[in-house]
Amino acid sequence: MNMWASVLVFTSLVVSGCLGTPPSSLRLVSILYRHGDRAPTEIYPKDNNQEDKWPNGIGRLTNMGKQEQYELGQYVKARYDGFISTSHYDQNEISIESSSMPRCLDSAYTHLAGLFPPQGDQIWKDDLLWQPIPVQTRPMEEDNKLALRKPCPRYEELFKKMEQKPHFQEEQKRNKKFYDMVRENTGITNKKWTQFVHVADTLICERIHNMTWNDWAYADGVFEKLNNIRLSFFDLFVNTSAMARLQGGPLLKEMLENMQAATKTEKPMPKFYMYSAHDTTVAALLKALHAKERNQLIIYRALVMVELHETNSEFEVKIFYRNDTSADPYPLTPEGCSQPCTLSKLIEITKDTVPKDWDKECKAKFDGSRELPPASWIAFGIAIAFIISSVVICIVWRLRFSNRREKSYSSLPA
């Protein structure tokens, strides 16, 4: 065994000793984590720190982010060692899926490097303790589960409806001078308030990497106000169960279906499901679960663990959230459930956030709040019929008039 292999084994043993052995009741695990540290997704025009300051590329995982995910993989390895074969990657035990955003794919691969360093016959190069492990993904425009980028007109209506609420509109008016100041100093021309979420994100990324901000950003209270605007976005993002149903519902539905399948023994299936995604994905899943987290901040590598246990022939679900790497994960209890929550109870209380037919439910409603009543459809049909009849009558009349004119013209001398 070479030096790096010895270090990895020692680290794993130390962490395993701290976390203990998974309980024998554990039957299935689904984990969702946010990607690691990344470069900002947008840079405002007047920023002193332009793209050349981010060697891996805009929005891409940084070296710090790679290290974070590698360490998270080691944590997961230690926590579930004995439940899954962490000493030897078994493709039949684990399913891995990622948002197709490069930072999430990179996070998945570095996470897996920490979770499944090759050992024994899986070592294919002595000085490279890494092995290729497949990660499934789907095109961004088709992903309603992890990237949350598949078009959903109904969700857009609900979000706009939240923006139109009086208290939000009043807040926008109060912020007008602040918005104007930020636009002037950043060079942003986009009029949407959500653009300031990107400005706050950029400042956060620059601060993490000890970069110097433009002078305006150091003014008293500026960063705090921008960050509050960023947090208000998450307030609106999945503010209601209807919004959570369309954003977090597809992933929760898959998790519940996998847990239901695991209660039966008809066919073999993975017992560990891993999802690499975004802070919005984490927020949407927690809202769909009706699980209140302690704070709104979702750190890089935030980790949600949904465990299925069998105790005395009854299946129970335990949810844990690790949103602070300096502390142990804490349990989350869905509203309406005790801890632990039985699988049947969890299915019952999340009926309002699990879509039956996502594509159908995503169709826009005409008035933004409810579908047209039957009487409106009848009136609409009558109007269309009237228009078609009028067009037909007009065509017939013009044809007759044209024939008469041709007859009169034929009587004239050539």
Distance, CA of 49 to CA of 43 (rounded, Å) = 8
* Active site (annotated) includes residue 35: yes
- Note the helical H segments in 175-248: 176-186, 195-208, 222-237, 241-247
The residue type found at 207 is R
* Active site (annotated) includes residue 279: yes
| CB-count burial class (<10 Å; 0-12, 13-18, 19+) for 6 | exposed
Backbone angles phi, psi at 330, to 5 degrees: -115, 150
Do residues 310 and 331 touch, judged by C-beta distance below 8 A? Answer: no
- Extract the tokens encoding 239: 């503010």
**Nearest one of 249, 298, 65, 36 to 148, comparing CA atoms:** 249
Annotated catalytic residue, options 201, 209, 279, 324? 279
Strands (E) across 68-161 are located at 94-98
- Extract the tokens encoding 180: 């104007």
- Extract the tokens encoding 43: 């840079």
Distance, CA of 214 to CA of 265 (rounded, Å) = 60
Annotated catalytic residue, options 35, 278, 290, 309? 35
- Give the side-chain half-sphere CA count within 13 A for 100: 11
Catalytic positions, please? 35, 279
